[in-house]
Amino acid sequence: MQIQNHLLTGDSIRLVESPNRGGKFKARLPDAIIIHYTAGADAASSIRSLCNPQSKASAHLLVARDGQITQLVPFDTAAWHAGKSSYGGREGYNNYSIGIEIDNAGLLTKTGESYQSWFGRNYSADQVITAVHRNEKNAHYWHVYSEAQIAAVEDICSLLIDKYGIKQILGHEEISPGRKVDPGPAFPLDKLRDRLLNQSRNEDGPAEEPLLEKGTVVADTLNIRIGPSSTAAVVALPLKKDTSVTILQEKDGWYEVAVEVKGWVSAKYVSPL
């Protein structure tokens, strides 16, 4: 598989051009990939819908259950897959991203022993996983992806990263939370990102960043201890008023600070700058 003139070429690739498209991407774009499921019955019906002008929807690629890939829009042109969307301060991801649709029925409901899609098809238990969506609290039933689809999506992403300098791989559920749940928990999105970009969504967040703040001692003297407790042994002479410290972490009203030594001080007596 290769990319030539913004089109995939190779054995299991077809080109079916969709009229549903915007303009050419600006310079240095696209730099993101958005993963979707079709919530459709099969690849053929989803391709028809994504090429129907009335649907006003498209994607760059669609990956069938057997791993066959259909390209609908060239990679230098915006497709209409993201809709109202925002992430990391950016809005309208159609202008930044390549959209990959994967043939999958999506969210299923259990009726007796079988699982039913919104369009009324039944799926057997081996086609279903029970899992909690990243944006939700309770478990639901989801149609599984085939191994061929997961492998094809990984190959495609890897090629696109090399060709376009892709920096983000996101789910539609992450750029349109509350409105969209695709690709859902049946798709190994976090693993894919870890392998290809060495970056998981959580690493972007402030929670993972070390607290490295400066502070000043405001008590006349302040004991510095081996642990976050007033009964923990002291590690050095007390810190004097106006001593400048680096705050490493906070726990239960105590700061671990670094001066010439490291230790714990009561957070009450340190004023962060």
Candidates 176-184, 197-205, 224-232, 262-270 — which segment interacts with Zn ion by CB under 5 A?
A: 176-184
For residue 173, indicate whether it is catalytic.
no
Q: How far is CA 84 from the centre of its chain?
A: 17
Residue 93 to residue 81: CA distance in whole angstroms: 9
Region of residue 165 (left: phi > 0; alpha: psi -120 to 50; beta: else): left
Q: Which residues contact 122 (CB under 8 A, 6 or more apart)?
A: 111, 114, 115, 116
For the CB of residue 20, give the shortest distance to Zn ion in the complex, in Å: 14
- Find residue 247's DSSP bridge partners: 213, 257
Q: In terms of CB distance, is 143 or 172 closer to Zn ion?
A: 172
Q: For Zn ion, how many residues bind (rule: CB under 5 A)?
A: 3
One of 36, 60, 143, 193 touching Zn ion (CB under 5 A): 36
List the interface residues with Zn ion, window 178-197 (CB under 5 A): 182
Task: By CB under 5 A, tell whether 143 contacts Zn ion.
Answer: no
For the CB of residue 55, give the shortest distance to Zn ion in the complex, in Å: 13
Dihedral pair phi/psi, residue 2, rounded to 5°: -140, 170
List the interface residues with Zn ion, window 41-100 (CB under 5 A): none
Q: In terms of CB distance, is 103 or 182 closer to Zn ion?
A: 182
Candidates 106-114, 170-178, 227-235, 260-268 — which segment interacts with Zn ion by CB under 5 A?
A: 170-178
Task: By CB under 5 A, tell whether 172 contacts Zn ion.
Answer: yes
List the interface residues with Zn ion, window 190-249 (CB under 5 A): none
Q: In terms of CB distance, is 38 or 223 closer to Zn ion?
A: 38
Helix (H, G, I), strand (E, B) or coil at 61: strand
Cβ–Cβ < 8 Å for 14, 70: yes
Q: In terms of CB distance, is 201 or 262 closer to Zn ion?
A: 201
Candidates 45-53, 165-173, 190-198, 204-212 — which segment interacts with Zn ion by CB under 5 A?
A: 165-173
Residue 86 to residue 184: CA distance in whole angstroms: 18
Candidates 12-20, 28-36, 87-95, 150-158 — which segment interacts with Zn ion by CB under 5 A?
A: 28-36
Radius of gyration of the chain (CA): 25
Task: By CB under 5 A, tell whether 133 contacts Zn ion.
Answer: no
Q: In terms of CB distance, is 182 or 256 closer to Zn ion?
A: 182
CA-closest candidate to residue 256, choices 269, 243, 246: 246
Q: In terms of CB distance, is 36 or 60 closer to Zn ion?
A: 36
Residue 33 to residue 97: CA distance in whole angstroms: 5
Dihedral pair phi/psi, residue 162, rounded to 5°: -65, -45
Cβ–Cβ < 8 Å for 140, 130: yes
- Annotated catalytic residue, options 101, 173, 174, 256: 101
For residue 238 the two structure tokens come to 């007390």
List residues near Zn ion by CB under 5 A: 36, 172, 182
Show which residues are catalytic: 101
